[in-house]
């Protein structure tokens, strides 16, 4: 009986701890979101989208950073997605079970979790230093290097879920392998692949470290990818660390925007895959 | 007779036609396969490129200071003396704090979701934790600098100093710094914010690993009267241990390489403080703060520190990958 009571006690203590840790986790989520909304909402207004980032001590907006972030993200996705999809296709359709595919998979996992600041240093050494100036292109390449492993991973996973019978059925009709892949396998896996791209976009939307040494920042409106380019994360970093109230307020507004975007994309990706099942 | 001849001729024609188009198909197949292979190679080249670029860039620093670069504590731009030790130790200490706090929290959350939560609660809590994992790290940094660190300095820090400070051995780690104690900017708060950042990530991975335990195993343990905790400790954990360690290592990799969350809060001091409540720095934070203004030997030294950081995370990630692969292998072995 005593043993039984002791076991029960241990169980109660540990399970209570488990509930408490979960509550603590949720509490932090609530705290962070409350801070973002509390600080960010009051800073969001129309001029945010029409005016440029101001010099210290005056009001302004984030228009140049918004367009810069948009251009960097779109370029990175355009560069990174085809590479990720084709490499993922190779792993799932051609290299299954082979040693080469296993190596690529391992390397990809390492790229997936490599510190993003290292990617910034790499692109700096590869592009910024030889060219002699920071540029939007360098920023987009750095972000593309983050997109590739995310897209590769999801593509491979999604293609592997497509039943082999579907490939066999298409092959039996005389379709060559590339047509089987393009017209049957991709079609069956498209939702999952799109989800992968959305998750990749969500990931790079908030990435700051790789842009610090590549796209840097720009106080002015520019669409020229050869120049340094303003972008939301670096603006947040510079403005939040500054002593000026106007700048800090803009940083909170940008932080709220970014978080809303990232969470929105994650929720979208979730609903997509859920509807598919 | 003529009829059969005609139809066989017809068949021949279609056969020839098929031959021609199947040759075109074969071409398409080749092109597609080689393109796919080429892009798979690009992934390998990327990693090779990163390693080569970092190694090449760090040659001057190692030439100037030798292997002592790693253990040299000074960072003195005026006299051009650079060592990685302070940042290296800062990186490891902040990551260690993050793991010390983050591990129990992640386990608690994973156990709650897989073993305790009623069905209707599993999904929302799991989703909330995963969303917390998706919040960009710069947001954690801002929140940490403006809200968490000051709150910690006002409410927790004095208690810590009073209770742990006088203790032998570890007491030195909890001494109030002479300057800047009120802002809460320190290695300790950076480590805690890091923990809060990696907990949702590790909890999701551990939960996924816990969920592969076959229900039959757990049910038979419950059937002979085991408590929930006993099921977790004696059935779930032994079954999943390699996977759990793999997931934890993934979290550690993140903690070591994280930049923005740490840069905001750690205070970027070049010296190694003796107390955890003093500001410090990590390799990633040092890169974020100094890289753009650096040139010459300072730039080389920063790249060399980047190489060190990459090597450390590389080793951690490889270990985690090996462990997770071993879990997958035992999984398959058990199925058959």
Cα–Cα distance measured from residue B285 to residue B302, given in angstroms and rounded to the nearest whole number? 11
Give the torsion sign (CA, A41, A46, A50, A55).
negative
Q: How big is chain A by its Cα radius of gyration, in Å?
A: 23
B132 vs A25, A179, A255: nearest CB: A25
Question: Does B183 score more than 90 pLDDT?
Answer: no
Cα–Cα distance measured from residue A189 to residue A48, given in angstroms and rounded to the nearest whole number? 39
Cα–Cα distance measured from residue A140 to residue A73, given in angstroms and rounded to the nearest whole number? 7
Compare A109 and B170 and report the one with higher pLDDT. A109
Q: Which of residues 280-309 of B touch A (CB under 8 A)?
A: 284, 287-288, 291-292, 302-303, 306, 309
Convert A161-189 to b/e letters by CB count within 10 Å (16 or more is b).
Answer: ebeeeebeebeeeebbbbbbbeebbbebb
Q: Is B227 on the interface with A (CB under 8 A)?
A: yes
Average pLDDT over residues B13-25: 57
From chain B, the residues in CB contact with A113 under 8 A are 250, 253-254, 257, 313, 317
Asked if B112's CB is within 8 angstroms of A22's CB, the reply is: yes
Question: Any idea which of A175-189, B177-191, B250-264 has the lowest mean pLDDT?
Answer: B177-191
Which residue of chain B is at minimal alpha-carbon distance from A204? B136
Contact by Cβ (8 Å): A139, A215: yes
Which residue of chain A is at minimal alpha-carbon distance from B284? A117
Convert A20-39 to b/e letters by CB count within 10 Å (16 or more is b).
Answer: ebbeebbebbeebbebbeeb
From chain A, the residues in CB contact with B25 under 8 A are 176, 178-179
Average pLDDT over residues B105-112: 94
HSE of A199, CA atoms in CB hemisphere, 13 A: 25
Contact by Cβ (8 Å): B287, B305: yes
Asked if A113's CB is within 8 angstroms of B253's CB, the reply is: yes
Cα separation values, B148 from A28, B64, B326, Å: 10, 41, 39
Contact by Cβ (8 Å): B287, B302: yes
- Confidence band (pLDDT; 50, 70, 90) for B237? very high
- Confidence band (pLDDT; 50, 70, 90) for B332? low
Residue B23: CB atoms within 10 Å: 10
Q: Is B25 on the interface with A (CB under 8 A)?
A: yes
Cα–Cα distance measured from residue B106 to residue B203, given in angstroms and rounded to the nearest whole number? 4
Question: Any idea which of A127-136, B5-14, B31-40 has the lowest mean pLDDT?
Answer: B5-14
Tens-digit pLDDT profile for residues A119-131: 999 999 999 999 9
Average pLDDT over residues A269-276: 78
Give the torsion sign (CA, B64, B70, B73, B75).
positive
Q: Is B154 on the interface with A (CB under 8 A)?
A: no
- Confidence band (pLDDT; 50, 70, 90) for B77? confident
Q: Is B206 on the interface with A (CB under 8 A)?
A: no
Which residue of chain A is at minimal alpha-carbon distance from B103? A21
HSE of B33, CA atoms in CB hemisphere, 13 A: 12
Tens-digit pLDDT profile for residues B34-61: 999 999 999 999 999 999 999 999 999 9
From chain B, the residues in CB contact with A36 under 8 A are 139, 143
Cα separation values, A241 from A170, A248, B149, Å: 58, 8, 14
DSSP for residue B156: T
Average pLDDT over residues B120-125: 90
pLDDT at position B97: 96
SS (H, E, C) chain A: CHHHHHHHHHHHHHHHHHHHHHHHHHHHHHHHHHHHHHHHHHHCCHHHCCCCCCCCCCCCCCHHHHHHHHHHHHHHHHHHHHHHHHHHHHHHHHCCCCHHHHHHHHHHHHHHHCCHHHHHHHHHHHHHHHHCCCCHHHHHHHHHHHHHHHHHHHHHHHHHHCCHHHHHHHHHCCCCHHHHHHHHHHHHHHHHHHHHHHHHHHHHHCCCHHHHCCCCCCCCCCCCCCCCCCCHHHHHHHHHCCCCHHHHHHHHHHHHHHHHHHHHHHHHHHHHHHHHC
Which residue of chain A is at minimal alpha-carbon distance from B141? A237
Question: Does B1 score more than 50 pLDDT?
Answer: no
From chain B, the residues in CB contact with A176 under 8 A are 22, 25-26, 28-29
From chain B, the residues in CB contact with A242 under 8 A are none
pLDDT at position A95: 86
Asked if B147's CB is within 8 angstroms of A18's CB, the reply is: no
Question: Any idea which of A130-139, A265-274, B10-19 has the lowest mean pLDDT?
Answer: B10-19
Which residue of chain B is at minimal alpha-carbon distance from A242? B264
Average pLDDT over residues B181-189: 83
Which residue of chain B is at minimal alpha-carbon distance from A211? B288
């Amino acid at each position: 009986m005593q043993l039984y009571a002791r076991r029960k006690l241990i169980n109660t203590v540990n399970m209570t701890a488990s509930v408490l840790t979960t509550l603590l986790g949720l509490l932090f989520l609530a705290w962070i979101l409350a801070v973002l909304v509390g600080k960010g909402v009051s800073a969001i207004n129309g001029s945010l989208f029409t005016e440029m980032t101001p010099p210290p001590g005056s009001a302004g907006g984030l228009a140049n950073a918004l367009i810069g972030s948009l251009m960097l993200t779109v370029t990175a996705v355009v560069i990174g997605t085809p590479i990720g999809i084709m490499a993922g296709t190779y792993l799932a359709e051609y290299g299954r079970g082979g040693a080469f595919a296993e190596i690529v998979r391992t390397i990809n996992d390492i790229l997936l979790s490599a510190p993003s600041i290292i990617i910034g240093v790499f692109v700096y050494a590869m592009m910024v230093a030889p060219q002699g100036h920071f540029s939007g292109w360098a920023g987009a390449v750095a972000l593309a290097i983050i997109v590739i492993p995310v897209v590769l991973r999801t593509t491979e996973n999604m293609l592997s879920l497509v039943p082999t019978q579907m490939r066999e059925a298409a092959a039996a009709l005389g379709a060559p392998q590339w047509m089987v892949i393009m017209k049957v396998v991709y079609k069956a896996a498209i939702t999952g692949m799109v989800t992968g791209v959305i998750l990749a976009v969500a990931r790079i939307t908030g990435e700051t470290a790789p842009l610090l040494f590549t796209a840097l920042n720009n106080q002015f409106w520019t669409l020229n990818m050869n120049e340094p380019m303003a972008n939301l994360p670096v603006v947040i970093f510079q403005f939040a660390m500054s002593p000026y109230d106007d700048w800090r307020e803009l940083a909170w507004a940008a932080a709220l925007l970014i978080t809303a975007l990232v969470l929105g994309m994650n929720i979208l990706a979730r609903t997509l895959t859920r509807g598919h099942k | 007779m003529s009829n059969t001849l005609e139809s066989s001729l017809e068949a021949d024609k279609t056969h020839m036609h098929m031959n021609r188009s199947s040759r075109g198909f074969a071409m398409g197949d080749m092109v597609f396969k080689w393109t796919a292979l080429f892009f798979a190679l690009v992934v390998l080249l990327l990693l090779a490129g990163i390693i080569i670029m970092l190694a090449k860039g760090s040659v001057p620093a190692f030439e100037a200071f030798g292997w002592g670069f790693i253990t040299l504590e000074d960072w003195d731009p005026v006299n051009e003396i650079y060592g990685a030790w302070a940042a290296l130790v800062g990186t490891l200490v902040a990551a260690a704090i993050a793991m010390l706090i983050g591990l129990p929290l992640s386990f608690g959350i994973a156990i709650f979701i897989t073993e305790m939560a009623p069905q209707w609660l599993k999904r929302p809590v799991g989703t909330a934790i995963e969303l917390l994992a998706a919040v960009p790290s710069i947001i954690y940094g801002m929140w940490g600098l403006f809200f968490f660190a000051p709150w910690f300095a006002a409410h927790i820090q004095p208690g810590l100093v009073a209770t742990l400070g006088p203790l032998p051995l570890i007491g030195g780690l909890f001494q109030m710094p002479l300057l800047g104690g009120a802002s809460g900017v320190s290695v300790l708060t950076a480590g805690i914010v890091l923990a809060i950042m990696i907990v949702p990530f590790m909890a999701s991975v551990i939960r996924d690993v816990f969920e592969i335990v076959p229900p039959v195993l757990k049910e038979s343990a419950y059937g002979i009267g085991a408590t929930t905790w006993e099921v977790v400790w004696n059935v779930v954990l032994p079954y999943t241990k390699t996977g759990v360690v793999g997931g934890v290592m993934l979290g550690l990799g993140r903690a070591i390489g994280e930049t923005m969350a740490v840069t905001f809060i750690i205070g970027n001091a070049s010296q190694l403080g003796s107390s955890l409540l003093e500001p410090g720095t990590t390799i990633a934070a040092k890169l974020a703060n100094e890289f753009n203004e650096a040139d010459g030997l300072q730039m080389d030294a920063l790249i060399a520190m980047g190489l060190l950081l990459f090597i450390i995370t590389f080793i951690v990630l490889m270990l985690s990958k090996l462990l997770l692969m071993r879990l997958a292998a035992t999984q398959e072995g058990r199925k058959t």
